[in-house]
Structure 1
Protein backbone atom coordinates (compact mmCIF):
# COMPACT_ATOMS: atom_id res chain seq x y z
CA UNK A 1 0.00 0.00 0.00
CA UNK A 2 2.78 2.39 0.92
CA UNK A 3 4.73 1.64 -2.25
CA UNK A 4 1.63 2.36 -4.38
CA UNK A 5 1.23 5.76 -2.69
CA UNK A 6 4.91 6.47 -3.23
CA UNK A 7 4.53 5.55 -6.91
CA UNK A 8 1.56 7.91 -7.31
CA UNK A 9 3.45 10.67 -5.51
CA UNK A 10 6.43 10.11 -7.78
CA UNK A 11 4.19 10.28 -10.87
CA UNK A 12 2.55 13.49 -9.67
CA UNK A 13 5.86 15.12 -8.89
CA UNK A 14 7.35 14.13 -12.24
CA UNK A 15 4.33 15.66 -13.98
CA UNK A 16 4.14 18.91 -12.00
CA UNK A 17 7.68 19.79 -10.90
CA UNK A 18 8.99 20.75 -14.36
CA UNK A 19 6.12 23.21 -14.81
CA UNK A 20 6.54 24.83 -11.41
CA UNK A 21 10.32 24.95 -11.63
CA UNK A 22 10.03 26.78 -14.95
CA UNK A 23 7.47 29.19 -13.49
CA UNK A 24 9.58 29.90 -10.40
CA UNK A 25 12.70 30.42 -12.53
CA UNK A 26 10.79 32.82 -14.77
CA UNK A 27 9.49 34.76 -11.79
CA UNK A 28 12.92 35.04 -10.16
CA UNK A 29 14.60 35.99 -13.44
CA UNK A 30 12.15 38.85 -13.97
CA UNK A 31 11.52 40.04 -10.42
CA UNK A 32 14.94 39.77 -8.79
CA UNK A 33 17.56 39.21 -11.47
CA UNK A 34 16.00 41.65 -13.96
CA UNK A 35 17.05 39.46 -16.88
CA UNK A 36 14.06 40.50 -19.00
CA UNK A 37 12.59 43.89 -19.74
CA UNK A 38 8.84 44.50 -19.65
CA UNK A 39 8.82 44.52 -23.47
CA UNK A 40 10.50 41.12 -23.56
CA UNK A 41 7.99 39.77 -21.00
CA UNK A 42 5.16 41.09 -23.14
CA UNK A 43 6.66 39.30 -26.14
CA UNK A 44 6.93 36.03 -24.23
CA UNK A 45 3.34 36.39 -23.00
CA UNK A 46 2.16 37.09 -26.53
CA UNK A 47 4.02 34.02 -27.84
CA UNK A 48 2.45 31.82 -25.17
CA UNK A 49 -1.06 33.17 -25.70
CA UNK A 50 -0.95 33.29 -29.51
CA UNK A 51 1.05 30.14 -30.33
CA UNK A 52 1.75 27.74 -27.46
CA UNK A 53 -1.67 27.49 -25.84
CA UNK A 54 -3.61 27.34 -29.15
CA UNK A 55 -1.29 24.61 -30.45
CA UNK A 56 -1.63 22.63 -27.24
CA UNK A 57 -5.41 23.12 -27.38
CA UNK A 58 -5.47 21.95 -30.98
CA UNK A 59 -3.48 18.85 -30.09
CA UNK A 60 -5.84 17.92 -27.27
CA UNK A 61 -9.03 18.77 -29.18
CA UNK A 62 -7.98 17.04 -32.39
CA UNK A 63 -7.41 13.76 -30.58
CA UNK A 64 -10.82 13.84 -28.85
CA UNK A 65 -13.85 12.47 -30.66
CA UNK A 66 -16.80 14.83 -30.04
CA UNK A 67 -19.27 12.04 -30.83
CA UNK A 68 -17.98 9.84 -28.02
CA UNK A 69 -18.30 12.29 -25.14
CA UNK A 70 -19.32 10.75 -21.84
CA UNK A 71 -22.88 12.03 -21.34
CA UNK A 72 -22.70 11.91 -17.54
CA UNK A 73 -19.60 14.06 -17.73
CA UNK A 74 -21.25 16.52 -20.12
CA UNK A 75 -24.38 16.80 -17.97
CA UNK A 76 -22.37 17.28 -14.79
CA UNK A 77 -20.35 19.98 -16.54
CA UNK A 78 -23.57 21.69 -17.64
CA UNK A 79 -25.02 21.47 -14.13
CA UNK A 80 -21.83 22.90 -12.64
CA UNK A 81 -21.92 25.86 -15.03
CA UNK A 82 -25.61 26.55 -14.33
CA UNK A 83 -25.13 26.39 -10.55
CA UNK A 84 -22.10 28.69 -10.71
CA UNK A 85 -23.99 31.16 -12.91
CA UNK A 86 -27.01 31.20 -10.59
CA UNK A 87 -24.86 31.57 -7.46
CA UNK A 88 -22.85 34.43 -8.96
CA UNK A 89 -26.01 36.13 -10.20
CA UNK A 90 -27.50 35.87 -6.71
CA UNK A 91 -24.34 37.28 -5.11
CA UNK A 92 -24.28 40.13 -7.63
CA UNK A 93 -27.92 40.99 -6.89
CA UNK A 94 -27.30 40.94 -3.13
CA UNK A 95 -24.15 43.06 -3.40
CA UNK A 96 -25.64 45.69 -5.67
CA UNK A 97 -29.20 46.20 -6.87
CA UNK A 98 -27.80 47.51 -10.15
CA UNK A 99 -25.47 44.58 -10.60
CA UNK A 100 -23.13 44.54 -13.52
CA UNK A 101 -23.66 41.49 -15.69
CA UNK A 102 -20.08 41.56 -16.95
CA UNK A 103 -18.85 40.73 -13.45
CA UNK A 104 -21.12 37.68 -13.40
CA UNK A 105 -19.78 36.56 -16.77
CA UNK A 106 -16.20 37.02 -15.62
CA UNK A 107 -16.95 35.15 -12.39
CA UNK A 108 -18.43 32.24 -14.31
CA UNK A 109 -15.39 32.19 -16.56
CA UNK A 110 -12.95 32.20 -13.64
CA UNK A 111 -14.84 29.70 -11.52
CA UNK A 112 -15.82 27.13 -14.13
CA UNK A 113 -13.14 27.20 -16.83
CA UNK A 114 -10.05 25.88 -15.07
CA UNK A 115 -6.56 25.63 -16.43
CA UNK A 116 -7.02 22.07 -17.62
CA UNK A 117 -4.51 22.05 -20.44
CA UNK A 118 -1.29 22.95 -18.73
CA UNK A 119 -1.78 21.59 -15.21
CA UNK A 120 -4.89 19.41 -15.28
CA UNK A 121 -4.12 16.87 -17.97
CA UNK A 122 -0.58 16.00 -16.80
CA UNK A 123 -1.73 15.85 -13.17
CA UNK A 124 -4.72 13.60 -13.87
CA UNK A 125 -2.64 11.36 -16.12
CA UNK A 126 -0.09 10.98 -13.33
CA UNK A 127 -2.75 10.31 -10.68
CA UNK A 128 -5.34 8.20 -12.47
CA UNK A 129 -3.93 7.18 -15.83
CA UNK A 130 -4.81 7.84 -19.44
CA UNK A 131 -8.55 7.25 -18.97
CA UNK A 132 -8.88 10.23 -16.62
CA UNK A 133 -6.83 12.39 -18.97
CA UNK A 134 -9.22 11.42 -21.78
CA UNK A 135 -12.16 12.60 -19.67
CA UNK A 136 -10.42 15.89 -19.03
CA UNK A 137 -9.73 16.21 -22.75
CA UNK A 138 -13.50 15.93 -23.25
CA UNK A 139 -13.97 18.82 -20.82
CA UNK A 140 -11.44 20.85 -22.83
CA UNK A 141 -13.40 20.03 -25.98
CA UNK A 142 -16.67 21.17 -24.39
CA UNK A 143 -15.02 24.36 -23.16
CA UNK A 144 -13.67 25.17 -26.61
CA UNK A 145 -16.77 24.30 -28.59
CA UNK A 146 -19.50 25.48 -26.24
CA UNK A 147 -18.52 27.50 -23.19
CA UNK A 148 -15.95 29.93 -24.61
CA UNK A 149 -18.30 30.81 -27.44
CA UNK A 150 -21.29 31.20 -25.13
CA UNK A 151 -19.33 33.45 -22.75
CA UNK A 152 -18.07 35.52 -25.67
CA UNK A 153 -21.66 35.91 -26.91
CA UNK A 154 -22.76 36.98 -23.43
CA UNK A 155 -19.94 39.55 -23.24
CA UNK A 156 -20.88 40.94 -26.66
CA UNK A 157 -24.57 41.16 -25.76
CA UNK A 158 -23.69 42.88 -22.51
CA UNK A 159 -21.47 45.37 -24.37
CA UNK A 160 -24.19 46.03 -26.96
CA UNK A 161 -26.75 46.69 -24.23
CA UNK A 162 -24.34 49.03 -22.43
CA UNK A 163 -23.54 50.94 -25.62
CA UNK A 164 -27.18 51.29 -26.60
CA UNK A 165 -28.11 52.43 -23.09
CA UNK A 166 -25.37 55.08 -23.04
CA UNK A 167 -26.11 56.40 -26.54
CA UNK A 168 -29.89 56.51 -26.28
CA UNK A 169 -31.28 60.02 -26.01
CA UNK A 170 -32.58 61.00 -22.61
CA UNK A 171 -36.13 62.29 -22.76
CA UNK A 172 -36.88 64.87 -20.09
CA UNK A 173 -39.78 63.76 -17.96
Structure 2
Protein backbone atom coordinates (compact mmCIF):
# COMPACT_ATOMS: atom_id res chain seq x y z
CA UNK A 1 0.00 0.00 0.00
CA UNK A 2 1.25 3.46 -0.92
CA UNK A 3 1.53 5.72 2.12
CA UNK A 4 2.00 9.45 2.60
CA UNK A 5 5.72 8.89 2.99
CA UNK A 6 5.88 7.41 -0.52
CA UNK A 7 3.91 10.34 -1.91
CA UNK A 8 6.29 12.77 -0.21
CA UNK A 9 9.36 11.04 -1.66
CA UNK A 10 7.90 11.22 -5.16
CA UNK A 11 6.99 14.89 -4.67
CA UNK A 12 10.46 15.64 -3.27
CA UNK A 13 12.07 14.04 -6.31
CA UNK A 14 9.83 15.88 -8.78
CA UNK A 15 9.81 19.32 -7.13
CA UNK A 16 13.32 20.34 -8.30
CA UNK A 17 12.37 19.44 -11.88
CA UNK A 18 9.23 21.56 -11.76
CA UNK A 19 11.20 24.35 -10.09
CA UNK A 20 13.62 24.48 -13.03
CA UNK A 21 10.65 24.27 -15.39
CA UNK A 22 8.96 27.21 -13.66
CA UNK A 23 12.12 29.29 -13.75
CA UNK A 24 12.49 28.72 -17.47
CA UNK A 25 8.85 29.59 -18.10
CA UNK A 26 8.95 32.70 -15.94
CA UNK A 27 12.22 33.92 -17.44
CA UNK A 28 10.58 34.12 -20.85
CA UNK A 29 6.93 34.85 -20.08
CA UNK A 30 7.05 37.13 -17.06
CA UNK A 31 10.52 38.57 -16.55
CA UNK A 32 11.48 38.82 -20.25
CA UNK A 33 15.07 37.77 -19.50
CA UNK A 34 15.49 35.72 -22.68
CA UNK A 35 14.57 36.35 -26.29
CA UNK A 36 13.71 33.70 -28.86
CA UNK A 37 17.35 33.65 -30.00
CA UNK A 38 18.49 33.08 -26.43
CA UNK A 39 16.05 30.21 -26.06
CA UNK A 40 17.34 28.61 -29.24
CA UNK A 41 20.91 28.85 -27.93
CA UNK A 42 19.90 27.24 -24.62
CA UNK A 43 18.03 24.46 -26.42
CA UNK A 44 21.07 23.76 -28.56
CA UNK A 45 23.21 23.59 -25.45
CA UNK A 46 20.82 21.03 -23.95
CA UNK A 47 20.87 18.96 -27.14
CA UNK A 48 24.67 19.02 -27.27
CA UNK A 49 24.91 18.01 -23.61
CA UNK A 50 22.44 15.19 -24.22
CA UNK A 51 24.29 14.33 -27.41
CA UNK A 52 27.51 13.77 -25.50
CA UNK A 53 25.75 11.24 -23.28
CA UNK A 54 24.35 9.47 -26.35
CA UNK A 55 27.83 9.42 -27.92
CA UNK A 56 29.23 7.99 -24.70
CA UNK A 57 26.46 5.37 -24.56
CA UNK A 58 27.20 4.43 -28.17
CA UNK A 59 30.90 4.02 -27.34
CA UNK A 60 30.07 1.84 -24.31
CA UNK A 61 27.80 -0.31 -26.49
CA UNK A 62 30.60 -0.81 -29.01
CA UNK A 63 32.96 -1.74 -26.17
CA UNK A 64 30.45 -4.34 -24.99
CA UNK A 65 30.32 -5.79 -28.53
CA UNK A 66 34.13 -5.87 -28.75
CA UNK A 67 34.45 -7.67 -25.40
CA UNK A 68 31.78 -10.20 -26.35
CA UNK A 69 33.42 -10.91 -29.72
CA UNK A 70 36.87 -11.12 -28.12
CA UNK A 71 35.53 -13.68 -25.66
CA UNK A 72 34.05 -15.75 -28.49
CA UNK A 73 37.34 -15.57 -30.41
CA UNK A 74 39.30 -16.68 -27.34
CA UNK A 75 37.01 -19.66 -26.85
CA UNK A 76 37.28 -20.67 -30.52
CA UNK A 77 41.06 -20.28 -30.42
CA UNK A 78 41.26 -22.49 -27.33
CA UNK A 79 39.11 -25.15 -29.00
CA UNK A 80 41.21 -24.93 -32.16
CA UNK A 81 44.38 -25.38 -30.11
CA UNK A 82 43.03 -28.52 -28.45
CA UNK A 83 41.95 -30.00 -31.78
CA UNK A 84 45.13 -28.75 -33.55
CA UNK A 85 43.10 -28.30 -36.66
CA UNK A 86 41.18 -25.03 -36.25
CA UNK A 87 42.10 -21.73 -37.80
CA UNK A 88 42.67 -18.81 -35.44
CA UNK A 89 42.80 -16.18 -38.22
CA UNK A 90 39.27 -17.10 -39.30
CA UNK A 91 38.06 -16.47 -35.74
CA UNK A 92 39.50 -12.95 -35.76
CA UNK A 93 38.13 -12.32 -39.25
CA UNK A 94 34.67 -13.20 -38.03
CA UNK A 95 35.20 -10.89 -35.05
CA UNK A 96 35.79 -8.01 -37.47
CA UNK A 97 32.71 -8.91 -39.49
CA UNK A 98 30.67 -9.38 -36.32
CA UNK A 99 31.66 -5.93 -35.09
CA UNK A 100 30.71 -4.42 -38.45
CA UNK A 101 27.28 -6.05 -38.25
CA UNK A 102 26.60 -5.20 -34.61
CA UNK A 103 28.10 -1.72 -34.39
CA UNK A 104 28.15 0.16 -37.72
CA UNK A 105 24.88 1.39 -39.20
CA UNK A 106 23.49 3.62 -41.91
CA UNK A 107 22.76 6.51 -39.57
CA UNK A 108 23.15 9.35 -42.05
CA UNK A 109 20.96 8.17 -44.92
CA UNK A 110 18.22 6.35 -43.02
CA UNK A 111 18.54 7.56 -39.44
CA UNK A 112 18.42 11.32 -40.03
CA UNK A 113 15.06 11.54 -41.88
CA UNK A 114 13.47 8.71 -39.89
CA UNK A 115 14.27 9.97 -36.39
CA UNK A 116 13.57 13.54 -37.44
CA UNK A 117 10.05 12.44 -38.34
CA UNK A 118 9.68 10.43 -35.11
CA UNK A 119 11.12 12.82 -32.52
CA UNK A 120 11.97 16.10 -34.23
CA UNK A 121 15.02 18.25 -34.86
CA UNK A 122 16.83 17.46 -31.61
CA UNK A 123 16.88 13.74 -32.49
CA UNK A 124 18.14 14.56 -35.99
CA UNK A 125 20.97 16.62 -34.50
CA UNK A 126 22.02 13.70 -32.30
CA UNK A 127 22.02 11.30 -35.24
CA UNK A 128 24.17 13.72 -37.23
CA UNK A 129 26.65 13.78 -34.34
CA UNK A 130 26.73 9.98 -34.29
CA UNK A 131 27.27 9.93 -38.06
CA UNK A 132 30.21 12.31 -37.78
CA UNK A 133 31.71 10.23 -34.98
CA UNK A 134 31.34 7.09 -37.09
CA UNK A 135 33.05 8.76 -40.05
CA UNK A 136 35.99 10.26 -38.17
CA UNK A 137 36.58 7.62 -35.47
CA UNK A 138 35.04 4.20 -36.08
CA UNK A 139 35.68 3.87 -39.82
CA UNK A 140 39.37 4.87 -39.49
CA UNK A 141 39.73 2.38 -36.63
CA UNK A 142 38.17 -0.29 -38.84
CA UNK A 143 40.68 0.56 -41.58
CA UNK A 144 43.52 0.09 -39.08
CA UNK A 145 42.09 -3.28 -38.04
CA UNK A 146 41.74 -4.42 -41.66
CA UNK A 147 45.26 -3.29 -42.52
CA UNK A 148 46.63 -5.00 -39.39
CA UNK A 149 44.92 -8.24 -40.41
CA UNK A 150 46.34 -7.91 -43.92
CA UNK A 151 49.85 -7.32 -42.57
CA UNK A 152 49.47 -10.28 -40.21
CA UNK A 153 48.42 -12.57 -43.05
CA UNK A 154 51.37 -11.41 -45.13
CA UNK A 155 53.67 -12.08 -42.19
CA UNK A 156 52.27 -15.60 -41.89
CA UNK A 157 52.96 -16.19 -45.58
CA UNK A 158 56.54 -14.94 -45.32
CA UNK A 159 57.52 -16.34 -41.93
CA UNK A 160 55.15 -19.24 -41.40
CA UNK A 161 54.36 -20.36 -37.89
CA UNK A 162 57.15 -18.21 -36.38
CA UNK A 163 54.62 -15.37 -36.25
CA UNK A 164 52.36 -17.33 -33.91
CA UNK A 165 55.07 -18.87 -31.69
CA UNK A 166 56.77 -16.90 -28.93
CA UNK A 167 60.08 -15.46 -30.06
CA UNK A 168 63.07 -17.69 -29.28
CA UNK A 169 66.69 -16.75 -29.81
CA UNK A 170 68.04 -14.71 -32.69
CA UNK A 171 65.45 -15.92 -35.19
CA UNK A 172 62.67 -14.95 -32.80
CA UNK A 173 64.08 -11.46 -32.39
CA UNK A 174 64.26 -11.07 -36.15
CA UNK A 175 60.66 -12.19 -36.50
CA UNK A 176 59.47 -9.73 -33.86
CA UNK A 177 61.49 -6.90 -35.44
CA UNK A 178 60.06 -7.71 -38.85
CA UNK A 179 56.55 -7.85 -37.42
CA UNK A 180 56.98 -4.45 -35.80
CA UNK A 181 58.21 -3.08 -39.09
CA UNK A 182 54.78 -3.77 -40.57
CA UNK A 183 53.19 -0.99 -38.50
CA UNK A 184 54.85 1.85 -40.42
CA UNK A 185 53.50 0.87 -43.86
CA UNK A 186 50.24 -0.15 -42.22
CA UNK A 187 49.62 3.30 -40.75
CA UNK A 188 50.85 4.93 -43.97
CA UNK A 189 48.34 2.89 -45.98
CA UNK A 190 45.54 3.85 -43.59
CA UNK A 191 46.49 7.53 -43.80
CA UNK A 192 46.46 7.47 -47.61
CA UNK A 193 43.04 5.80 -47.71
CA UNK A 194 41.61 8.25 -45.20
CA UNK A 195 43.00 11.18 -47.19
CA UNK A 196 41.22 9.86 -50.29
CA UNK A 197 37.90 9.51 -48.47
CA UNK A 198 35.92 12.78 -48.72
CA UNK A 199 33.56 11.75 -45.91
CA UNK A 200 36.40 11.77 -43.38
CA UNK A 201 37.94 15.14 -44.11
CA UNK A 202 34.54 16.70 -44.81
CA UNK A 203 33.45 15.64 -41.33
CA UNK A 204 36.69 16.92 -39.81
CA UNK A 205 36.32 20.25 -41.61
CA UNK A 206 32.72 20.50 -40.43
CA UNK A 207 33.72 19.86 -36.82
CA UNK A 208 36.57 22.37 -37.08
CA UNK A 209 34.34 25.05 -38.60
CA UNK A 210 31.60 24.48 -36.01
CA UNK A 211 34.13 24.82 -33.19
CA UNK A 212 35.61 28.03 -34.61
CA UNK A 213 32.22 29.51 -35.47
CA UNK A 214 30.83 28.73 -32.03
CA UNK A 215 33.91 30.17 -30.28
CA UNK A 216 34.05 33.46 -32.18
CA UNK A 217 30.36 33.69 -33.18
CA UNK A 218 31.03 33.52 -36.90
CA UNK A 219 28.38 32.98 -39.54
CA UNK A 220 28.73 31.01 -42.73
CA UNK A 221 28.67 33.22 -45.86
CA UNK A 222 25.27 33.02 -47.49
CA UNK A 223 26.57 31.68 -50.80
CA UNK A 224 28.41 28.82 -49.05
CA UNK A 225 25.55 28.12 -46.64
CA UNK A 226 23.10 27.92 -49.53
CA UNK A 227 25.37 25.56 -51.47
CA UNK A 228 25.77 23.26 -48.48
CA UNK A 229 22.01 23.33 -47.84
CA UNK A 230 21.28 22.25 -51.41
CA UNK A 231 23.83 19.45 -51.19
CA UNK A 232 22.47 18.26 -47.84
CA UNK A 233 18.90 18.18 -49.15
CA UNK A 234 19.84 16.21 -52.24
CA UNK A 235 22.41 14.04 -50.45
CA UNK A 236 19.89 11.78 -48.71
CA UNK A 237 17.89 11.26 -51.88
CA UNK A 238 20.99 10.53 -53.93
CA UNK A 239 22.30 8.26 -51.19
CA UNK A 240 19.13 6.17 -51.17
CA UNK A 241 19.14 6.18 -54.98
CA UNK A 242 22.69 4.83 -54.82
CA UNK A 243 21.53 2.18 -52.35
CA UNK A 244 18.88 1.12 -54.85
CA UNK A 245 21.51 0.91 -57.57
CA UNK A 246 23.70 -1.19 -55.28
CA UNK A 247 20.83 -3.61 -54.63
CA UNK A 248 19.96 -3.72 -58.32
CA UNK A 249 23.54 -4.57 -59.27
CA UNK A 250 23.55 -7.72 -57.14
CA UNK A 251 22.73 -11.00 -58.86
CA UNK A 252 20.50 -12.01 -55.95
CA UNK A 253 19.50 -10.64 -52.57
CA UNK A 254 20.88 -13.49 -50.45
CA UNK A 255 24.35 -14.65 -51.47
CA UNK A 256 25.64 -16.14 -48.21
CA UNK A 257 23.00 -18.70 -47.26
CA UNK A 258 20.03 -18.45 -44.94
CA UNK A 259 22.03 -19.29 -41.81
CA UNK A 260 24.51 -16.42 -42.16
CA UNK A 261 21.73 -14.10 -43.28
CA UNK A 262 19.75 -14.86 -40.13
CA UNK A 263 22.90 -14.38 -38.02
CA UNK A 264 23.62 -11.00 -39.62
CA UNK A 265 20.04 -9.82 -38.97
CA UNK A 266 20.21 -10.97 -35.34
CA UNK A 267 23.43 -9.02 -34.86
CA UNK A 268 22.02 -5.92 -36.58
CA UNK A 269 18.49 -5.80 -35.18
CA UNK A 270 18.79 -7.56 -31.80
CA UNK A 271 22.37 -7.64 -30.52
CA UNK A 272 23.16 -4.04 -31.48
CA UNK A 273 20.07 -2.56 -29.74
CA UNK A 274 20.59 -4.83 -26.72
CA UNK A 275 24.20 -3.67 -26.29
CA UNK A 276 23.05 -0.07 -26.75
CA UNK A 277 20.37 -0.46 -24.07
CA UNK A 278 23.07 -1.66 -21.69
CA UNK A 279 25.33 1.27 -22.55
CA UNK A 280 22.48 3.77 -22.30
CA UNK A 281 21.36 2.50 -18.90
CA UNK A 282 24.95 2.66 -17.64
CA UNK A 283 25.06 6.33 -18.70
CA UNK A 284 21.65 7.00 -17.15
CA UNK A 285 19.69 7.77 -20.32
CA UNK A 286 15.92 7.75 -19.92
CA UNK A 287 12.77 8.71 -21.83
CA UNK A 288 12.97 9.90 -25.43
CA UNK A 289 16.75 10.07 -25.27
CA UNK A 290 16.88 6.35 -24.50
CA UNK A 291 14.38 5.60 -27.25
CA UNK A 292 16.39 7.52 -29.85
CA UNK A 293 19.60 5.81 -28.74
CA UNK A 294 18.05 2.36 -29.12
CA UNK A 295 16.40 3.16 -32.45
CA UNK A 296 19.62 4.42 -34.01
CA UNK A 297 21.29 1.15 -33.03
CA UNK A 298 18.66 -0.78 -35.00
CA UNK A 299 19.19 1.15 -38.24
CA UNK A 300 20.17 -0.86 -41.35
CA UNK A 301 23.72 -1.95 -42.10
CA UNK A 302 26.32 0.61 -43.18
CA UNK A 303 27.27 0.48 -46.87
CA UNK A 304 30.89 1.33 -46.00
CA UNK A 305 31.27 -2.03 -44.25
CA UNK A 306 30.67 -3.81 -47.56
CA UNK A 307 33.23 -1.55 -49.25
CA UNK A 308 35.82 -2.54 -46.64
CA UNK A 309 34.97 -6.23 -46.78
CA UNK A 310 35.16 -6.32 -50.58
CA UNK A 311 38.46 -4.42 -50.66
CA UNK A 312 40.06 -6.75 -48.12
CA UNK A 313 38.32 -9.90 -49.44
CA UNK A 314 36.62 -10.82 -46.18
CA UNK A 315 32.98 -11.97 -46.00
CA UNK A 316 31.81 -9.53 -48.67
CA UNK A 317 28.80 -11.75 -49.40
CA UNK A 318 27.65 -11.59 -45.78
CA UNK A 319 27.90 -7.78 -45.66
CA UNK A 320 26.23 -7.40 -49.06
CA UNK A 321 23.30 -9.55 -47.94
CA UNK A 322 23.10 -7.73 -44.60
CA UNK A 323 22.90 -4.33 -46.32
CA UNK A 324 20.19 -5.42 -48.74
CA UNK A 325 18.00 -7.36 -46.31
CA UNK A 326 18.37 -4.96 -43.38
CA UNK A 327 17.56 -1.97 -45.60
CA UNK A 328 14.43 -3.65 -46.97
CA UNK A 329 13.36 -4.84 -43.51
CA UNK A 330 14.23 -1.64 -41.67
CA UNK A 331 10.87 0.10 -42.03
CA UNK A 332 8.73 -2.58 -40.34
CA UNK A 333 11.46 -3.39 -37.81
CA UNK A 334 12.03 0.23 -36.80
CA UNK A 335 8.31 0.91 -36.70
CA UNK A 336 7.88 -2.06 -34.37
CA UNK A 337 10.73 -0.79 -32.18
CA UNK A 338 9.17 2.68 -32.14
CA UNK A 339 5.80 1.34 -30.98
CA UNK A 340 7.25 -1.05 -28.39
CA UNK A 341 9.65 1.54 -26.95
CA UNK A 342 6.78 3.99 -26.65
CA UNK A 343 4.91 1.45 -24.51
CA UNK A 344 7.69 0.10 -22.30
CA UNK A 345 9.94 3.15 -21.78
TM-score bin (small chain): 0.5 to 0.7
Q: Determine which of 24, 46, 49 is the counterpart of 2:204.
A: 24
Stretch deviating more after TM superposition (105-114 or 40-49):
105-114
Q: Would you say 1:125 and 2:306 are equivalent positions?
A: no
Which 5+ residue runs of structure 2 have no aligned equivalent? Answer: 1-154, 156-178
**Residue 32 to residue 24, structure 1, CA distance change in 2 (3 Å):** same
Stretch deviating more after TM superposition (38-47 or 53-62):
38-47
Q: Would you say 1:63 and 2:249 are equivalent positions?
A: yes
Q: Would you say 1:72 and 2:259 are equivalent positions?
A: yes
Find the aligned partners of 2:341 and 2:195 in 1 and give their Cα distance: 41
Q: Secondary structure at the match of 1:68?
A: coil
Find the aligned partners of 1:7 and 1:133 in 2 and give their Cα distance: 25
For these two proteins, the number of residue pairs brought into alignment is 154
Cα deviation, residue 114, structure 1: 6.6
Q: Secondary structure at the match of 2:271?
A: helix
User: Contact 1:16 / 1:122 at 8 angstroms: preserved in 2?
Assistant: no
Tell me the TM-score normalised to structure 2 length: 0.34
Find the aligned partners of 2:204 and 2:329 in 1 and give their Cα distance: 33
Q: Determine which of 120, 144, 163 is the counterpart of 2:327.
A: 144
Cα deviation, residue 109, structure 1: 3.3
Q: Which runs of 4+ in 1 moved over 2 A?
A: 1-19, 21-44, 67-73, 77-89, 102-115, 119-126, 131-135, 152-159
The answer for the alignment partner of 1:82 in structure 2 is 270
Matching of residues 47-62 of structure 1 within 5 Å: 47-51=234-238, 53-62=239-248
**Residue 13 to residue 135, structure 1, CA distance change in 2 (3 Å):** farther
Instruction: Encode CA deviations 1:119-138: one digit per residue, 9 max, x unaligned.
Output: 32333333x22x53343221
Find the aligned partners of 1:115 and 1:105 in 2 and give their Cα distance: 19
Find the aligned partners of 2:325 and 2:299 in 1 and give their Cα distance: 10
Cα deviation, residue 151, structure 1: 0.4
User: Contact 1:125 / 1:133 at 8 angstroms: preserved in 2?
Assistant: yes
Give the superposed CA RMSD. Answer: 4.3
User: Contact 1:16 / 1:123 at 8 angstroms: preserved in 2?
Assistant: no
**Residue 82 to residue 28, structure 1, CA distance change in 2 (3 Å):** closer
Find the aligned partners of 1:47 and 1:137 in 2 and give their Cα distance: 25
User: Contact 2:255 / 2:317 at 8 angstroms: preserved in 1?
Assistant: no
Which structure has the bigger radius of gyration?
2
Question: Which protein, 1 or 2, shows the higher relative CO under an 8 Å CA cutoff with sep ≥ 6?
Answer: 1
User: Contact 2:309 / 2:316 at 8 angstroms: preserved in 1?
Assistant: yes
